[in-house]
Amino acid sequence: MIKIGYVRVSRDDQNADNQIKLLLDERLSRENIYVDHISGISTMQDREGFSRMIQFIRDHPNEPITLYVFEISRLGRSFLDTLNMVRSLEESGTRVWSLSPAESWSRIDDKKLRDLMLSIFSWVADRERENLIERTKLGIARAKAEGVVLGRPKRTIPWKRVRELQEKKIPLAAISRILDIPYTTLYRHNSNKEKKENSD
């Protein structure tokens, strides 16, 4: 069996050595420990250590691998994202082993029982996501009923000032910088306004 480890800490965190030591205590070789100094909100593609770890697993398709982590949450960006990653790894034959006392279920030898625990956690995550969506919909409906205007406030463009600058032959791109208005916004509204004026 091959033992590999994954460590992720934020850029300003100095606890990587502590996590690495815990993995080394599990008789992992240092070259088989993959480390990322990056925020948890980053995508998996942005994590160099994670990408190399996944590639290592793919390069050893017929060998049993156990992936050791300090906490399972280190693998993903969100609860559901992490669970999906664990399930994907387990289905590919890589066992995920957490050193966290709160995640002792990952150290159960009975694969069916581990799968059951993952299914329960996935169900909880799905319910929470659905509840969040429902609460968001209710909040939007309530806000609309109370007359709250949702979305970005409409930008007021000082057309008198725009026309004054245009009369001075100043390009629209320069006007957008002078008035601190995004060029695309000013261009779109200016085109619409000119079409309306021409049609009148």
| Banded model confidence at residue 127, pLDDT cuts 50, 70, 90 | confident
CATH no. for 2-108? 3.40.50.1390
pLDDT in tens, 162-199: 888 889 888 888 888 888 888 888 888 888 777 777 66
Give the Cα separation of 5 and 7 in Å (integer). 7
Residue type at position 102: A
Kindly list the distances between the CA atom of residue 103 and the CA atoms of 18, 114, 123, 136, 186, in Å, as whole numbers in the listed order: 18, 11, 17, 31, 54
Domain borders along the chain are 2-108, 159-199
Question: What's the DSSP call for residue 156?
Answer: P
User: Whole-number mean pLDDT of the chain?
Assistant: 84
Residue type at position 90: E
Answer yes or no: are the C-beta atoms of 54 and 12 closer than 8 Å. Answer: no
pLDDT in tens, 12-71: 555 788 899 999 999 999 999 999 988 766 676 778 999 999 999 999 988 999 999 998
Chain centroid to CA 43: 5
Give the Cα separation of 97 and 26 in Å (integer). 11
Helical segments of the chain, H only: 16-24, 48-59, 79-91, 111-145, 159-167, 172-178, 183-199
